[in-house]
């Protein structure tokens, strides 16, 4: 078996994964800002971290997974200016910020359940951890990393952290402030970022603000992830995940304040980022399209797919068709094709669930090893899916071995292949009165011990590409390949 290797954004290399504590893995994943329903691009990040967790569990690791809920502090841009997204949504809906947060957090959790994501061990809200965030800001201030801009807030001085540009490979010298993070009067360096924002005099009172050593205000967006990850995983942990768009600002700022505040380097062993889900335009190829974005109004949500009659699990199946570090083009055709593929795979798995007996571990071993090694190679889900289909359609393996392998693979891929009810299986099974009559005739011949006739019917059907599967509920038929 090959060793586990993951690609680390910070070192820009794929290297062996060795956890800080033998047998245990800590993962922190940037979760939703709960001001609106999450789109399927956001859901790709959720599925990526879930696949990572499932694979590590299958390798015998005890995994602690933390996904945060951002319910304060995420401004409408990365410029440390403008209105908080939570505040804007609450005012528009004429509700409190907590009501907005609770509503969209519940939708996020329902989406996760619909696509079979494991529940994280910790799912902390930023507003429940204000004291942790203030404590970290105080550490940074004591060490001289922060400065104050009057009537604005407390800012991190990035010139004090020489490794600031390392994670995202930023060119700070050649970077225009207005391009990446906007212009804030009083900042020492263009990349400096807010750690604590102070409520400005003369402005309407915010819906969410707290007392602090620097005055009434609210935390910067980046502070929560540093404080909460350390609260639940310790001052150093193994893996931090998120979308690739977070690397240049949010995660870069997390590294700066965490490594300076806690005095650790590296703070995180592996930074793993998933690429964008893109929208295909008319006539574009699969590698074209733009990033899906709420601000552009081009959002697709899981509820949109469900309303069109698409099984949410078909989206999980679609997710597995591209490597997490590759852009993945989303279109109506792509999701419809995925829904068809998932349905075919589910039919095969349901039919195999009716097979009885014990499998042969030696026969299964080469396929299990290929599947495992694909995922050990930086979570190569497309290759693992190819092994899944090879087993599903295999003429080399006995049905009982195919059943066992699909069960084993499904624990990692999370496709719920064998969970459909008998009624659903019957609904999906192809109907053909002529073949049903021949099956009944074969059963009658077997009951009369007319083995020659029974075998002749079986052979005739096999010549037509029809396979008979004997189960505890009696014989059923399917077309070869299904």
Please indicate whether residue 431 or residue 473 has the higher confidence score (pLDDT).
Answer: 431
Domain boundaries, the chain: 5-274, 282-423, 430-479
On the question of pLDDT at 176 being above 60, the answer is: no
pLDDT band at 472 (very low <50, low <70, confident <90, very high): very low
In this prediction, residue 373 carries a pLDDT of: 98
Model confidence over 283-341: pLDDT tens digits? 334 444 566 565 555 568 999 998 888 999 999 999 999 999 999 999 999 999 999 99
Architecture field, domain 282-423: Up-down Bundle (1.20)
When pLDDT is averaged across residues 345-370 and rounded to a whole number, the result is: 95
Q: Please, what is the average pLDDT of the chain? A: 89
Greatest mean pLDDT range, 141-155, 162-176, 199-213: 141-155
Name every residue whose Cβ is closer than 8 Å to that of residue 309 and which is 6 or more positions away in sequence: none
In this prediction, residue 292 carries a pLDDT of: 58
On the question of pLDDT at 481 being above 70, the answer is: no
In this prediction, residue 421 carries a pLDDT of: 39
> By mean pLDDT, which of 25-39, 43-57, 81-95 is the weakest?
81-95
Domain 5-274 of CATH type 3.30.160.20: no
In this prediction, residue 173 carries a pLDDT of: 77
Alpha helical stretches, state H, 75-169: 85-93, 97-114, 130-142
Radius of gyration of the chain (CA): 27
Can you read off the two tokens belonging to residue 249?
A: 């600002």
Instruction: DSSP letter for 194, please.
Output: E
Burial category of 174 from C-beta neighbours within 10 Å (exposed 0-12, middle 13-18, buried 19 and up): exposed
pLDDT band at 282 (very low <50, low <70, confident <90, very high): very low
Question: How far, in Å, CA of 418 to CA of 426, rounded?
Answer: 14
Residues 18-25: contacts with CB under 8 Å, at least 24 apart: 19/61, 19/238, 19/269, 20/236, 20/237, 20/238, 20/269, 23/60, 23/61, 23/62, 24/61, 24/62, 24/63, 24/64, 25/56, 25/61, 25/62, 25/63, 25/64, 25/238, 25/239
Angle at 138 between CA 187 and CA 191, to 5 degrees: 25
- How do beta strands 290-291 and 277-279 pair? antiparallel
pLDDT band at 455 (very low <50, low <70, confident <90, very high): confident
On the question of pLDDT at 122 being above 50, the answer is: yes
Residues 473-477: contacts with CB under 8 Å, at least 24 apart: 473/354, 474/443, 475/439, 475/442, 475/443, 476/351, 476/354, 476/429, 476/439, 477/435, 477/436, 477/439
When pLDDT is averaged across residues 12-39 and rounded to a whole number, the result is: 96
């Amino acid at each position: 078996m090959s060793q586990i290797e993951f690609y680390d954004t910070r070192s820009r290399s794929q290297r062996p994964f060795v956890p800080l504590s033998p047998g245990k893995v800590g993962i922190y994943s940037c979760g939703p800002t709960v001001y609106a329903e999450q789109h399927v691009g956001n859901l790709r990040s959720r599925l990526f971290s879930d696949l990572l967790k499932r694979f590590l569990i299958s390798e015998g690791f005890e995994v602690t997974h933390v996904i945060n809920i951002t319910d304060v502090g995420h401004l409408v841009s990365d410029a440390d200016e403008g209105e908080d997204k939570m505040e804007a949504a609450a005012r528009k809906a004429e509700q409190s910020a907590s009501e907005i947060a609770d509503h969209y957090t519940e939708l996020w959790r329902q989406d996760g359940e619909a696509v079979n994501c494991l529940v994280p061990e910790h799912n902390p809200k930023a507003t429940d951890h204000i004291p942790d965030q203030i404590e970290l800001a105080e550490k940074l201030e004591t060490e001289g990393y922060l400065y104050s801009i009057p009537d604005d807030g407390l800012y991190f001085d990035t010139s004090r952290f020489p490794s600031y540009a390392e994670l995202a490979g930023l060119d700070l010298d050649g970077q225009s402030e207005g391009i990446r993070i906007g212009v804030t009067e009083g900042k020492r360096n263009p990349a400096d970022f807010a750690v604590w924002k102070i409520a400005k005099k003369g402005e309407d009172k915010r819906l969410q603000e707290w007392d602090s050593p620097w005055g009434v205000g609210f935390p910067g967006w980046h502070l929560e992830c540093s404080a909460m990850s350390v609260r639940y995983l310790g001052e150093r942990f193994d893996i931090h995940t998120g979308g690739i768009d977070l690397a240049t600002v949010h995660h870069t700022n997390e590294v700066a304040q965490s490594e300076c505040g806690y005095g650790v380097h590296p703070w995180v062993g592996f930074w793993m980022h998933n690429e964008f889900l893109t929208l295909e335009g008319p006539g574009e190829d699969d590698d074209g399209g733009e990033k899906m974005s709420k601000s552009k109004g081009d959002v697709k949500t899981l509820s949109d797919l469900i309303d069109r009659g698409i099984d949410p699990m078909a989206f999980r199946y679609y997710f597995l068709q591209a490597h997490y570090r590759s852009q993945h083009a989303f279109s109506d055709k792509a999701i419809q094709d995925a829904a068809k593929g998932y349905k075919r795979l589910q039919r095969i798995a349901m039919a195999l669930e009716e097979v009885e007996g014990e499998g042969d571990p030696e026969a299964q071993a080469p396929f299990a090893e290929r599947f495992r090694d694909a995922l050990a190679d930086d979570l190569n889900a497309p290759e693992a899916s190819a092994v899944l289909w090879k087993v599903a359609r295999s003429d080399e393996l006995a049905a009982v071995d195919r059943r066992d392998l699909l069960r084993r693979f499904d624990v990692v891929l999370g496709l719920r292949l064998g969970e459909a009810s008998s009624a659903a299986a019957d609904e999906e099974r192809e109907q053909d009165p002529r073949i049903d009559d021949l099956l009944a005739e074969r059963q009658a011949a077997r009951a009369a011990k007319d083995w020659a006739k029974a075998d002749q019917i079986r052979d005739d059907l096999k010549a037509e590409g029809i396979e008979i599967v004997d189960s505890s509920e009696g014989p059923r038929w399917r077309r070869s390949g299904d």
